[in-house]
Amino acid sequence: MIGIRGIVLFFLIFSLSIFSQPLRIALDEDYAPFSFYDESGNLVGISVDFWKLFSEKTGVEVELVPVKWYRAQELLTEGKIDAIDQIFKTPEREEALSFSRPIFEMRSCVFFRKDLPIGDFSDLSSYIVGALRGEGAVETLRRKNPDVEFEFFDDYSSIVKALKEKKISVFLGDDIVARYYLSKGDILPEFRTLHLETNYLHVAVLRDNESVLSLINVGLSRISERERNEIIRNYIPLALVTPPWLLRVVFYGISAFAIAFGIALSFIYLLKRKVEERTLQLREANEELKAQNEEIEALYQEVSANQEELEKLYGEIRELNERFRESVWKIAKLVFIEDKSRFFFEVGQIVKYLLNVKNLKVILDDRAPEKVEGTVFEISHSNEKHGYIVLEGDLSEDEKGVLESLLTIVSAIYTYRKLISRERKLYRDIVKT
């Protein structure tokens, strides 16, 4: 027998196939990387590709309506659209709207310049906070600090423009989207964040339009998690997720915090130096090009070459950033490794991965090796030598500094593990006595 569930599923699929009118979905026209216009004026992004897949899965034609965000709910009320994409569920909105199942997770944060004395939400009373018109997280921030004053903008591009012109120094935004626009404006390194809340992007319809909501939910159920992640990876190469064990590592010892903090400082310094050097080179090359007004064609070709070099630089930075985060995760796990051979084997693997070197040798001996080919780095802490690392090939001064900082932290972890082992042994001996 087919059963009631089979019959219900059949009619839902049948309703999708006969939906003759295009499903009109409003989305923010300036919400990269989810929806934005490319250089050719085409609407692109995660949400655009998502709704194309929705249409393929259901056979329902979808008409995307890009709008200024503050206009979306007005158009829905006026009946000019059927639903709104990329919208947070809030108590205020639930009074008039019904929401689909969650589609994408999104963190809302307050971004502020690093030089501002802001430690928590109470410190925001002294500043004008920029935000999008119709931004759902505004009420959440007001509940945390009723004294916050807002200046509203039509889109993220306008917010970034105001930041670059120093008209505002603080703004409320969705983490992935805000970082995209700050990076595009070359000002991302100037900002820190306060995490406000973690929410989800939904599709919303008017409360009396449950038929469209059911249609959308059935279509969403046909799109797998793997397909959703493939779309995201086309626009966001690296998803940043805080591992749940990190808090436990910090709780068990200050050494785990020192790992992340120490390597982060060294790594950020290395990235900053690389960006400054390349930026200076590009600026000098650009000034030379401007002086050669008579060679228009040569100017165009050199600017194109500089653009390719800058994109290559961003690629290198992303690769270094990925290696850094992976290394932090691996180093934090060293706290729980008691076996010395395994401990230093993992150290060697981390060094290979972080510095992208192939030929490396770890010597577990407190005596310096006499004859080796390569550069020797000592692993020691508090005048106690644990061993040596031998690297073939040349390292830059910055890379040597990063490696020395890494080995200092690793030595501290190893010493910390030895102390813990001794305390455990002493405790067992006392219990036996």
Higher pLDDT, 10 or 219: 219
Mean pLDDT score, 351-363:
74
In three-state secondary structure terms, 68 is coil
Angle at 383 between CA 377 and CA 384, to 5 degrees: 75
pLDDT for residue 142 is more than 50: yes
Question: pLDDT at position 216, please?
Answer: 95
CA atoms within 13 A on the CB side of 256: 17
Contact (CB, 8 A) for 51 and 64: yes
pLDDT over threshold 70, residue 255: no
- Residue 13 reports pLDDT greater than 90: no
Mean pLDDT of the chain: 82
Nearest Cα to 48, choosing from 179, 239, 232, 237?
232
pLDDT at 172 over 70: yes
Supply the pLDDT for residue 186. Answer: 93
Q: Of 310, 304, 305, nearest to 275 (Cα)?
A: 310
**Which DSSP string corresponds to 263-291?**
HHHHHHHHHHHHHHHHHHHHHHHHHHHHH
Closest CA to 332 of 244, 268, 394: 244
Would you say residue 175 has pLDDT above 60?
A: yes
Give the list of residues 6+ apart from residue 326 with CB closer than 8 angstroms, or none.
353
Tens of pLDDT, residues 76-129 = 999 999 999 999 998 889 999 999 999 999 999 999 999 999 999 999 999 999
Nearest CA-CA partner of 346 in 105, 108, 335, 50: 335
Nearest-5° angle of CA 40, CA 42, CA 44?
A: 125
**H/E run at residue 411:** helix 397-432
- In sequence order, the 6+-apart residues with CB closer than 8 A to the CB of 268 are none
- For the chain, what is the radius of gyration of the CA atoms? 28
Q: How sure is the predictor about 16, in pLDDT bands with cuts at 50, 70 and 90?
A: very low
Q: In degrees, to the nearest 5, what angle opens at C-alpha 286 toward C-alphas 284 and 288?
A: 70
Share of residues in the chain with pLDDT > 90 (%): 45
Is the CB of residue 250 less than 8 Å from the CB of residue 257? yes
Q: Of 327 and 235, which is predicted with more confidence?
A: 235
Mean pLDDT for 35-61 is 94
User: 109-123, 285-299, 416-430: which range is least confident on average?
Assistant: 285-299
Q: Are 275 and 317 in contact (CB under 8 A)?
A: yes
Residue 241 pLDDT level (bands cut at 50, 70, 90):
very low
pLDDT of residue 41: 92
Q: What is the pLDDT of residue 266?
A: 77
Q: Are 77 and 206 in contact (CB under 8 A)?
A: yes
Instruction: Categorize the per-residue pLDDT at 297 as very low, low, confident or very high, splitting at 50, 70 and 90.
Output: confident
Amino acid at 232: I
Report how far residue 28's alpha carbon sits from residue 284's, in angstroms, rounded to the nearest whole number: 38
**Residue 184 predicted with pLDDT over 50:** yes
What does the alpha-carbon distance between residue 276 and residue 288 come to, in Å, rounded to a whole number? 18
Cα separations in angstroms, 151 against 67, 133, 173, 258, 271: 20, 9, 13, 39, 34
pLDDT at 24: 97
326 pLDDT band, cuts 50/70/90, is confident
pLDDT of 240 above 70: no
256 Cβ contact list (under 8 Å, min separation 6): 246, 249, 250, 332, 335
Task: Give residue 26's pLDDT.
Answer: 97
The predicted structure's pLDDT at residue 332:
76
So what's the pLDDT on residue 159? 96
Checking if the pLDDT of 382 tops 70, the result is no
d(CA 257, CA 413): 11
On whether the CB atoms of residues 406 and 377 are closer than 8 A, the answer is no
Average pLDDT over residues 27-46: 93
The band of 267, judged by pLDDT with boundaries at 50, 70 and 90, is: confident
Element (H, E) at 205: strand 191-206
Q: What is the pLDDT of residue 246?
A: 37
How far is C-alpha 388 from the chain's CA centre? 36
7 vs 337, higher pLDDT: 337
One-letter amino acid at 171 equals F
Q: For the purposes of burial, counting CB atoms within 10 Å of the CB of 423, is it exposed (0-12), middle (13-18) or buried (19 or more)?
A: exposed
Confidence at residue 164, expressed as pLDDT on a 0 to 100 scale: 95
Among 333, 350, 335, 336, which residue's Cα sits nearest to residue 389? Answer: 350
- Asked whether residue 140 carries a pLDDT value surpassing 90, the answer given is yes
Sign for the pseudo-dihedral over CA of 21, 34, 57, 39: positive
Reply yes or no on whether the pLDDT at 209 is more than 70.
yes
Quote the DSSP letter at residue 372: -
126 is written with which tokens? Answer: 């002294």
Where are the alpha helices (H) located in 236-355, listed in sequence order? 245-252, 254-291, 296-333, 340-355
The whole-angstrom separation of Cα 119 and Cα 74 is 37
DSSP state of 368: P
| The pLDDT of residue 239 is above 90 | no
Q: HSE of 388 in the Cβ direction (CA atoms, 13 Å)? A: 15
**Report field, pTM of the whole predicted structure over 0.85:** no
Mean pLDDT lowest for which of 122-136, 367-381, 415-429? 367-381
Provide the Cα torsion 190, 193, 198, 203; round to 10°.
-40
Closest C-alpha among 246, 271, 414 to residue 346: 414
